[in-house]
Amino acid sequence: MARGLAEAFVKRGPIRTIGVVGMGYVGIPAAALFADVPRYSRVWGFQRDSATSGYKIAMLNRGESPLGGDEPGLAALIQRVVAAGKFSCTADFSRIASCDAVTLAIQTPFLDPSDLLPDFSALEEGIRLTGRHLSEGTLVVIESTVTPGTTAGTARRILEEESGMVAGRDFGLAHAPERVMVGRLIRNLQEHDRVVGGIDDASTARACDLYSPILAKGRIIPMSATAAEVEKTAENTFRDLQIAAANQLALYCEAMGVNFYDVREGIASLKEEGVTRAILWPGAGVGGHCLTKDTYHLERGVKVCGGDLDWPEGEKSLFLSARAINNFMPMHMFHLTRDGLARAGKEVAGSRVAILGWAFIADSDDSRNTPSEVFRDLVVSEGAEVDVHDPWVKEYSGLEISPDLDRAITGADAVAVFTGHREYRALDPLHLKRLTGKAHPVIVDGRNIVDPDAFIPHGWIYKGIGRGDKNGHAIVEGR
Ligand code: SAJ
């Protein structure tokens, strides 16, 4: 038995064989990139042979990518490394014993948004299987987004229980959060800087060795494992915070009758050495899998592994206040719709509302945690009929999504733009008004994508987030 971890690494020799546990959006491109590094002789992709995802094993071993969507470079890379015999996928976790390094990229969803407790069960199973076959001198790296304290806490405990070895003496342990984004999986792994944090210096150094060869442009940013967990959750918490600041200011601008976008232009002009205002954009809400979750990971972290937090008595976390503001925005869209209908002498009950955009982000089919759903539930609960259009999202459980914009708009009393899809940048006010068949249909712009001066002259009642200068406009009889 080596006397210390550095000894164990020397005894094991340089990293040559790598295991990647979890053949998903993160694991597959990472495994393929590792396999493409000349000095790495072999990469094993570990995937449970389950009913839902076992099919990936055969696909990958045929050199095919099981990931949907357009991922530049990925299919060719997989085909190349499989053909070269450098990458193969297996459900046989015993091969972990032959790996000098093992990375785990397993999703950590929140099962029930109301309690915001992450479901670590899949990740913990992966950690358990890894520990069971772990050999001396191996480096284990957690890539999944986790609550700060998980790597040095739960992950370490499970690995030691299953292997009978001691982390930091017999094997290394680190956290290296991913920053992949759909459509840019390979590029992000090669070009983004990579935060890498070990439970000790030897683990950190070994993890830096592991990732350096796949960074074409990015640099390694070393730190402790817990700091890396805080960094990952905080980078998204800060984005959510910046969006919330823009949302709150937009609500203030509406109340004060000014155009948020004029104000924003002025604020953003403050740019000089050391001076900046990273003001983002207000909108109909914040969806997706990252920003809607990572704040809660950070907040749990300070409770789980934080010591004595010095905090103003009774003051709510700024980050949770930001979440509350962003989560309010679909309700604000509902208020704008209700107020617009009232100006047309109508109520939400009995009206027909067309929702344009179900995806949580423009020009994408990703509808995870979409704000549109919150709004849809609100108008339906108030007795409105709803039609949903989205040019990218083909299906969503329990919902009919029309690919035909004209059909979705036909007969609508109100149209609410929820997603900034490029298709909505050229809406024809006259054509759409005729489709509604109404004298004064309502248009509610949640993504600053509609020109009020193009719609109001045709008799539309306009409401827009941040458009305090237009939301009380005179109603025109329309041409
Ligand atoms: N949103 C706004 N206003 C903004 C920006 C976004 O309302 O100014 C809304 C979007 O409409 C969307 C949500 O926030 O509903 C999230 O948008 P996002 O652009 O942050 O996209 P995500 O959720 O895919 O975030 C990912 C994150 N990447 C990773 O976690 C690896 C995030 O850290 C990136 O900053 C972001 O992509 C990005 O910049 O593309």
Assigned token pair, 405: 């914009």
pLDDT at 114: 66
Three-state secondary-structure class, residue 448: coil
Calpha distance 29→180 (Å, rounded): 9
| Centroid of ligand 1 to alpha carbon of 92 (angstroms) | 37
pLDDT band at 305 (very low <50, low <70, confident <90, very high): confident
Q: HSE of 447 in the Cβ direction (CA atoms, 13 Å)?
A: 25
pTM of this prediction? 0.93
In this structure, the residue with its CA closest to atom 29 of ligand 1 is 179
pLDDT at 150: 96
Q: Which atom of ligand 1 is nearest to the CA of 329?
A: 7
290 is an active site residue = yes
Domain boundary residue, one of 218, 239, 258: 218
Which of 53-57, 187-191, 254-258, 288-292: highest mean pLDDT?
A: 254-258
Same domain, residue pair 207 and 267: no
Q: For 351-386, how does the pLDDT look when each residue is reduced to its tens digit (9 = 90+)?
A: 999 999 999 999 999 999 999 999 999 999 999 999
pLDDT band at 110 (very low <50, low <70, confident <90, very high): confident
Ligand 1: residue of 108, 239, 369 to mutate (most ligand atoms within 8 A of CB) is 239
pLDDT band at 229 (very low <50, low <70, confident <90, very high): very high
Q: What percent of the chain has pLDDT over 70?
A: 98
Domain boundary residue, one of 202, 218, 234: 218
Same domain, residue pair 194 and 324: no
Could you list the residue range(s) of the whole structural domain that residue 348 is in? Answer: 224-479
Ligand 1: residue of 243, 267, 369 to mutate (most ligand atoms within 8 A of CB) is 243
pLDDT at 272: 85
Q: For 416-451, how does the pLDDT look when each residue is reduced to its tens digit (9 = 90+)?
A: 999 999 999 999 999 999 999 999 999 999 999 999
The DSSP call for residue 167 is B
Does the Cβ of 37 fall within 6 Å of ligand 1? no
Instruction: Tell me if 40 sits within 8 A of 213, measured CB to CB.
Output: yes
Same domain, residue pair 158 and 266: no
- Of the candidates 95, 93, 88, which has an alpha carbon nearest to the alpha carbon of residue 63? 88
Q: Which atom of ligand 1 is nearest to the CA of 182?
A: 24
pLDDT band at 276 (very low <50, low <70, confident <90, very high): confident
Domain boundary residue, one of 218, 239, 270: 218
Total domains in the chain come to 2
Same domain, residue pair 337 and 193: no
| Centroid of ligand 1 to alpha carbon of 291 (angstroms) | 7
Same domain, residue pair 183 and 231: no
pLDDT band at 112 (very low <50, low <70, confident <90, very high): confident
In this structure, the residue with its CA closest to atom 8 of ligand 1 is 281
* CATH assignment of the domain containing 297: 3.40.50.720
Does the Cβ of 236 fall within 6 Å of ligand 1? yes
470 is an active site residue = no
Same domain, residue pair 243 and 186: no
Same domain, residue pair 280 and 203: no
Instruction: Give the residue-averaged pLDDT of 67-86.
Output: 93
Same domain, residue pair 296 and 189: no
Q: Which atom of ligand 1 is nearest to the CA of 366?
A: 24
Same domain, residue pair 276 and 362: yes
Same domain, residue pair 47 and 118: yes
Q: Is 375 exposed, middle or buried (0-12, 13-18, 19+ CB in 10 A)?
A: buried
pLDDT at 113: 62
In this structure, the residue with its CA closest to atom 13 of ligand 1 is 286
Higher pLDDT residue, 326 or 306?
326
Q: How many residues does the chain have?
A: 479
- Of the candidates 101, 86, 95, which has an alpha carbon nearest to the alpha carbon of residue 37? 86
Instruction: Give the residue-averaged pLDDT of 298-325.
Output: 94
- The amino acid at residue 326 is N
Same domain, residue pair 314 and 189: no
pLDDT at 180: 85
Q: What is the average pLDDT score of the chain?
A: 95
Instruction: Tell me if 454 sits within 8 A of 479, measured CB to CB.
Output: no
Instruction: Tell me if 163 sits within 8 A of 145, measured CB to CB.
Output: no
In this structure, the residue with its CA closest to atom 40 of ligand 1 is 181
Same domain, residue pair 246 and 389: yes
